[in-house]
A and B are shown apart, each in its own frame.
Chain A
Amino acid sequence: MSALDLSRPPAPPPQEGEVEQRSLVPVTLAYLRRTPAIPVLLVVVVAGAVAFGGTFLSVRNFASMAVASSFLLIISVGMTFVIISGGIDLSVGSMLALGAVLAAYSARWGSGPAILIPLAVCTAIGLIQGLLIGKGRMPPFIVTLAGLLFARGLAFKVSDDGNMTHLIPEGEWVIKLGQSTFLGVGLPAWIALAVLLLGMVVLYRTRLGFSTYAIGGSEEAALLMGVRVVRVKLVLYTLTGFLGGVAGLLVAARSSSGLSTIGAGLELKAIAAVVIGGTLLSGGAGGLTGTLAGVFLLGVIENLINQIGTLSYYHQLVASGVFLIIVVSAQSLFAKRELRRAGRVT
């Protein structure tokens, strides 16, 4: 698809006939057009401030939003990598549930196992998915769909077929991972921030990151260039599995329990956040700043809907669905204009 190199975040190579030194303003404007999530986020925040004033625009509310969004952010970082590589991972929601259940279950042996076991199991499942997708050359959609069923099944099995919710015993320090605060903001938000920053370094500054873009742009070309496609895919799906485990562990620590039903549909939310953030599902383009904006946009919307308070559960669904359609439509219209401007589409 011809749009690919247009929306690549690390300074795109200058097009033919374009002046080398572009001033900051048009570059920024072009970036914002590709990532409408950022201006839309600003609009929504201003609208929220006008409508609800101090109750919305308070440090406390933003801190709580940051924590509430942190689990989705962690998962969306992995999802961004996978989608840029041209793949998808549907298993992350189940993986989060499995991570949470295993963390709560293993807490009976202490905090160390409560951290290590969920991370190890989720990473292992991610690795198996990576093997099937990379070495087995099977479609990621179907492999991770099976992963979704498998991880949820395992989470249910550990929870006595869903009849039981394991609790983390009081006094285990693993709980602090989810419940303590630093500078007034909950620890999960800081961990998510660290994951995001690490992800940015890897994506924009390392060979793995470049390979990810290359595979998403054209797998054959990447192969010809000597990119180790199989190995990169293996690493990426292992990474999403691991991050699913991290998010699950934090959820368990935050709630002191592992609920086997949580995280259902979270994979779609993460995909939505990534796409709203300007990463194309066709692969090869996109980035993590957009994903951050996408995650926060979803978080702010949810927060605003909660502020209204009287809105019933199903009206919230309608609002988020309609909003999603509006954002992706706007994004697609922007992208089309951008393409036309570049003279690539008739």
Chain B
Amino acid sequence: MTAVTSPVPSVSSERAWRFVRENGVYIALAVVVVFNLIATPNFASLRNVQLQLVQVAPVVIVALGMALVIGTAGIDLSVGAVMALAAAMVAIFVDQSPWLAIGMGLAAGVAAGLLNGSLVAFLGIQPIIATLGLFVAGRGIALAFTSGRLVEIFDPTLAALGQNRLWGIPIAALIAGALAVLMALLVRRTQFGRNVVAIGGNARAALGAGLPVRRVLLIVYVICAVYAALAGTLVTARSAAADPSFVGLLIELSAITAVVVGGTPLNGGKVRVLGTVAGAILMQLVFSTLIRHDLSDSDARMVQAAIIIAAVYFQRDRGSK
């Protein structure tokens, strides 16, 4: 806060402030990790790290897709419902072949993304409302597929996907990491990524400049839904059951939080992939830290609220008065 109080901010304090603003999520993550190393017994144990990684993987995956959508100044509320849809697909097709089941889960994601994307790109409906339709209906469709029941899944391939480890790292976490790298390449190294950022910055200008705005928007929502479908498949594989009532419930809020805490502004024009991953891990660690230190679930929620406010407050553009 020194930069605020001193009347003429010196160059170095200005620079320090900027550093905090741009890297706040990494600093916060470091603080939480150091705190845990000191105060939480068994935090650094392999077992705990593996557990945290497995728990955070679905949120990371969903948040990556969400970051892309938010980069276009949009939002996708339907990600949890898409996870449920993918889970239902896996439950239906797993008896034939686990790979077919995974494929159908992803196909459900593509279909959901095409629906959301068409509503946003071609009908010009505000993203929050366009994706609200599937947010409500998607879980219903998923429940209809499984007749409203939880379906247990006994399949060695899926079980391996959800529970095995490679070099000590849970496969789910490896997949999340691979998807993060893929997203980073997409955003930074491709024309598509530059188009996303341009549309988020100013859709009208992007249209005027001749960018394929509609097509890019459509693809963005498809990618987001496919990422969500992957997360749904992973959760289903891990829990060895498809539970459309609860899989991905409220994950849209965790994902949006991770994206925003990670430094991607909600009004678009910027996508921070690594920040999003750090944001998801930060929120997960904070929550598990609070629970480990005997705070109740309700207290943990309130502390989370405070952390979100603090994170966004420090990252906001101080701009002109």
Contacts and interface: CB of A to CB of B under 8 A. Distances in A.
A321 B305 contact: no
Given A272-B129, A314-B140, A317-B136, A136 B313 contact: yes
B304 interface: yes
Interface stretch (B12-20, B152-160, B176-184, B292-300): B292-300
Given A156-B301, A318-B141, A143 B309 contact: yes
B144 A314 contact: yes
A156 to B, nearest CB: 4
A325 B148 contact: no
Interface in B141-168: 141-144, 148
A317 B132 contact: no
Chain B, interface residues (CB within 8 Å), range: 35 or more
Most buried by A among B137, B141, B267: B137
A156 B312 contact: no
Contacts of B130: 325, 328
Interface stretch (B46-54, B120-128, B212-220, B230-238): B120-128
A324 to B, nearest CB: 5
Contact of A145 (B140, B297, B308): B308
Given A136-B313, A321-B137, A161 B297 contact: yes
Interface string B23-38: 0000000000000000
A211 B298 CA distance: 37
A287 interface: no
Most buried by B among A136, A146, A268, A329: A146
Interface stretch (A46-54, A147-155, A179-187): A147-155
Contact of B123 (A161, A318, A329): A329
Nearest to A91: B305
Nearest to A153: B301
A314 B309 contact: no
| B contact face: mostly helix, strand, loop, or mixed | helix
Contact of B133 (A88, A136, A322): A322
Contacts of B136: 317, 320-321, 324
Interface of A: 88, 132, 136-139, 141-143, 145-150, 152-157, 161-162, 268, 271-272, 275, 280-282, 312-322, 324-325, 328-329, 332-333, 336
Interface of B: 77, 115, 119, 123-126, 128-130, 132-144, 148, 253, 256-257, 260, 265-267, 296-302, 304-306, 308-309, 312-313, 316
28 contacts: A136-B316, A137-B316, A139-B267, A142-B266, A146-B308, A148-B253, A153-B298, A154-B298, A157-B299, A157-B302, A268-B135, A271-B132, A280-B126, A314-B139, A314-B140, A314-B148, A315-B144, A317-B139, A320-B137, A321-B133, A321-B135, A324-B136, A325-B119, A325-B133, A325-B134, A328-B119, A329-B119, A329-B123
